[in-house]
Structure 1
Amino acid sequence: PNIVFIMSDDHSYQTLSAYDDRFIETPHLDRIAGEGVTFVNSFVANSICAPSRATLLTGKHSHMNGQLDNRRAFDGRQQTFPKLLQGAGYQTALVGKWHLRSTPTGYDHYERLIGQGDYYNSDFITNGDTARSHGYVTDVITDKSIRWLENRTPGQPFALQVHHKASHRIWMPDTSALGAFQDAGLPVPDTFFDDFTGKRYLKTEMGEQPQRIPMRIPAAETRMSIATEDMDLVYDLKLLDEEGEIQTKYREMYANDRYARLDEQQKAAWDAHYDPIIREFKQNWEAMSERERAIWKYRRYMRDYLATIRTLDENVGRLLEYLKAEGLYENTLVVYTSDQGFYMGEHGWFDKRFIYEQSMRTPLLMKFPEGMATREEVDELVQNIDWAPTLLELAGVEVPAGMQGQSLLPLVQNEDDQWRDALYYHYYEFPNEHMVKKHYGLRTDRYKLIHFYDDIEVWELYDLQEDPMELNNLYGQPEYAQRTRELKERLR
């Protein structure tokens, strides 16, 4: 079978309508779900770009593949699934985001973005040569992917990785989608104004009522709040006023890089959309309460984010139609996923990094080759360490013993009754811009135990069945003492 592995960036499961249709309809992605398997409990092992990509390649956790954070370069000498597929006779290619600070290995062809890449007129390195593209990056990546498929060696199986920039910060929509969500209602999450007091330890002294005692709260020390300057009015929300009255930390970065990349036609469409928003902002901002300002910023963020998803979904549809038209669809595994989840205002946040549900979860849809009997929905705990073993087994390649993940094929074919009952997670990148503390933890189907460490010493325990939004830290409560001991032993 052929393999087309589509991975987006920071696509939340909340904004893929096969999972959640409150914000957007994604008909082309839903088609993969409708014709294949939806994994409803899909998670990552380290919710940040480079480590997640290294986990995909190696089938190993970050401490085993060496990619702990975004700062270091991936060691491309190690074993990866593209190398193993190459050895089994597959043509291999990668188009789009790489973000591993190293030259891709294991590919017959690659066309990769530099770093995060840009939404408009982005530079690509093609097998070592750099050239600037013209157009919107999601369209360009799809064009390049289809061009490679057209020029591949016919009759030989292929494995194509299509790695989109969307929907990474700073959520610049295609000009054709700029107003797509201008009138959308966009409900504010129930936890948007979370003050994190429920995350304090609950201590009980002899003869006294339980009390939440003062302590440092990791969630309160982060810098990814929509309401504050963590979300930059110019850089994130595109409020680049001609008068220069809106001065922010990242104004010049946006003006001289992101906005400056637009050509004249793109700028004309851009300005026609954002100039009225800038005028509205200037007229109303001073009169707004802090609460109203936070909600205004949230809705501006969401409109741009959702517009990038709209174009992403359309381009996934375009690629699927190409596979259909060329008679390739029936014998191709099509995977859609994201490198991690993302916050759509839950707890007042954007970004990812935490072991909490919105960032640890990620979409995962798989359409298998025709004739394979599969379940429509899988609710077992699966993780991105499992992706490489799955691709290898489907291709008939032996899964190396060093890979920590498991092939999902027995699971989707109802042939595995001994699946894992817990997942391990570890985030390492601190200090950094968003100041999420180093932490590791364990997630079972019901409980989550977390240890924050380094410049802080905090434990958190959540009952996901009773508290799915992870608002009330149960660590230290006497009635959970035995459960905590069991989870700590399992985590150890």
Structure 2
Amino acid sequence: MRRLLLLGTLAAALLLSLLALTPDDPAPSGPPVVSAAAASTKPNVVVVMADDMRTDDLRFMPSVRRLLVGHGLTFRNSFSPYPLCCPARASFLTGRYAHNHHVYSHEDPYGFQSFDDHATIATALHQAGYQTGFVGKYLNGYGAQPSLVTGGPSFHYVPAGWTDWYGAVERPAGSGYRSGGTYNYLHTIFNVNGRIDDTHQGQYQTNVLGRFARGLVTKYHRSPRPFFLYLSAVAPHFGGPREKGDPSHVARTDGGFSRIATPARPTWVRGRFDRQITRASGRPVGGGPSEADISDKPRPMDKAPELSTAEWYGVRALTRQRAEALFVLDQEVARLVARLKATGEYANTVFMFTSDNGYFLGEHRQRQGKIKPHEPSLRVPFVMAGRGIPHGERFDPVTTPGVTATIAELAGATSLMPYPEDGVSVASSVTADHGWSVPVVTEGLESGRVFPQDPFLKAAGFHDARNTIGVRTGRWKYVRYSDGDGELYDLDADPNELQNRISDPAYAEARDRLQAVWLAYKDCVGEACRTPLPDRFQRTPRENEAGTNTQSRGVQKRYGYWR
């Protein structure tokens, strides 16, 4: 209780001292009711979200490191609870876990067509007096799939709450457009405030997004109202057009072949990181095997063959191309910061940089991908800089829904959020760490899990589309699968998750206690998701910093980079 009171006190002090919020909350519906004079005391909020970016990928972004990391706060424990594009982005827009917003995948029957976007962070901020701008990738299927809100086509659909909308669209059948789409880096079609814009063929998508974003900063600068700008990039997600030399039909050790999908890049950036990247990010230092024994992993992961030499070269090429795509985004971040400073807006802006999910690059014999609840997939960068943000590191955990809660709190819009907040705001962590007191609920819908559920899992109720659910605390990770498999890792002792302790008698007590935690949080809503853990699973700020550094040293020893 004392810790919760401290959190509330610090949050209130931060908001009063940094944001000078108005004393009265605006009405929960209708047009903006905050006066221009009052709104101008609130900070602008700019969010740049990469796609499939790992935490260690920050080393390929010198401008982000210099401008944001070098002058802001880096959160060392940042997680995407459902590490997949569509569910993660729906969580950011709503502040909810996937089991509450029900966007479980990018594939049918999910994707954009399953997302209720009639009320989001955009509508809340709009009601709080903000101008709101969206630029880039929305949810998979947007443009081609029908809108859940209107029941009609989405090619010209603009979600509620956005002052300006520059959304990349997929081509629906019968649209008349024969090429182009969200994942074509050199031919992206946009819905610009309801009008289709197909004038950017041959232009690299990330540069187009940067131009759009800078234009909105210039536009919003002319108004006394604050603004929220969300730049949602595709980089470094794989995407076309295919380029000469891309790894594709790569021989495996089991006689099969791997398709390694890569992002397209401008010609000028190709080869930039070849000397720096001598091996895949997920290959151990010294070139050892990905994982000597994978029999302890859940099905079908336990059947993955070790990577062949050709595959390791392919994943190295993928690592390089991803770095190159990120470097282009890095330049656009620098230009966006420069525009904010040139207009004088940066002094009143909180700038956030993150990703929708992490990515495997060879770890656990995973050639590439995400969705799974292991650290390379789960961890994402999160950096805050700008108005009132000091320089340094924080060790408090932050999740994708927590980022949303943080934005709402900074903007004075928490009471206007359309749903109970599942995430914990880290606005008060700007002043100091508070420790790890709430778990991260990991979720996923993995293909191939068609085995019968065991009695415990039936009783516990794997009752929705999820077939993997876990809890991640400062020290432990406990995951259950709908087919009866499970994982338990002591991350202080095993930060690279090489030894699954789910069946180890020495860990029976921890397993049983974590099972109770799992049952308590797996279907949580709102305040229940933010309820403190049992004391034995909490960590004080000092304990959490020490544990995080211990885990990071273990990763560095194995892979050669700091996480």
Equivalent in the alignment of 1:174: 266
Equivalent in the alignment of 1:69: 105
Work out whether residues 296 and 302 of structure 2, in 8 Å CA contact, stay in contact via their aligned partners in 1: no
2:215 paired with 1:147: yes
Other structure's SS at 1:362 match: coil
Equivalent in the alignment of 2:296: 200
Structure 2 distance, partners of 1:87, 1:364, is 26
From 456, 477, 482, the equivalent of 1:448 is: 477
Cα deviation digits, residues 299-324 of structure 1 (max 9, x gap):
22122111111111111111111111
The residue identity in structure 1 corresponding to 2:234 is K
Cα deviation digits, residues 122-180 of structure 1 (max 9, x gap):
11111222222131011000001111222235221110101111010131112211221
From 428, 433, 455, the equivalent of 2:445 is: 428
Question: What's the % identity of the aligned pairs?
Answer: 28
Equivalent in the alignment of 2:75: 39
TM-score by structure 1 length? 0.76
Paired residues, number: 398
Structure 2 distance, partners of 1:192, 1:126, is 49
Equivalent in the alignment of 1:304: 321
From 186, 194, 214, the equivalent of 1:128 is: 194
Matches within 5 A, 1:312-323: 312-323=329-340
Work out whether residues 486 and 502 of structure 2, in 8 Å CA contact, stay in contact via their aligned partners in 1: yes
TM-score by structure 2 length? 0.67
Supply the RMSD in Å over aligned alpha carbons.
2.3
2:392 paired with 1:376: yes
Identify the structure with bigger relative contact order (alpha carbons < 8 Å, sequence gap 6+).
Answer: 1
Matches within 5 A, 1:72-151: 72=110, 73-100=113-140, 101=142, 102=147, 103=157, 104-115=159-170, 116-132=182-198, 133-134=200-201, 135-151=203-219
Work out whether residues 135 and 232 of structure 2, in 8 Å CA contact, stay in contact via their aligned partners in 1: yes
- Gaps of at least 5 residues in structure 1 are 18-23, 202-215, 228-290
The residue identity in structure 1 corresponding to 2:163 is D
Equivalent in the alignment of 1:58: 94
CA pair 61-75 structure 1, distance change in 2 beyond 3 A: same
Cα deviation digits, residues 358-393 of structure 1 (max 9, x gap):
010000001141xx2646211122111111111111
**Residue 411 of structure 1: how far off its partner (Å):** 1.9
Other structure's SS at 1:425 match: strand
Equivalent in the alignment of 1:13: 55
Work out whether residues 375 and 412 of structure 1, in 8 Å CA contact, stay in contact via their aligned partners in 2: no
Work out whether residues 448 and 464 of structure 1, in 8 Å CA contact, stay in contact via their aligned partners in 2: yes
**Residue 186 of structure 1: how far off its partner (Å):** 2.1
Other structure's SS at 2:160 match: coil
**Residue 27 of structure 1: how far off its partner (Å):** 3.0
The residue identity in structure 2 corresponding to 1:126 is V
- Gaps of at least 5 residues in structure 2 are 1-42, 148-156, 171-181, 239-261, 450-465, 520-563
**Residue 297 of structure 1: how far off its partner (Å):** 1.2
CA pair 127-25 structure 1, distance change in 2 beyond 3 A: closer
Other structure's SS at 1:482 match: helix
Structure 1 distance, partners of 2:275, 2:391, is 38
CA pair 183-368 structure 1, distance change in 2 beyond 3 A: closer
2:510 paired with 1:478: no
The residue identity in structure 2 corresponding to 1:406 is V
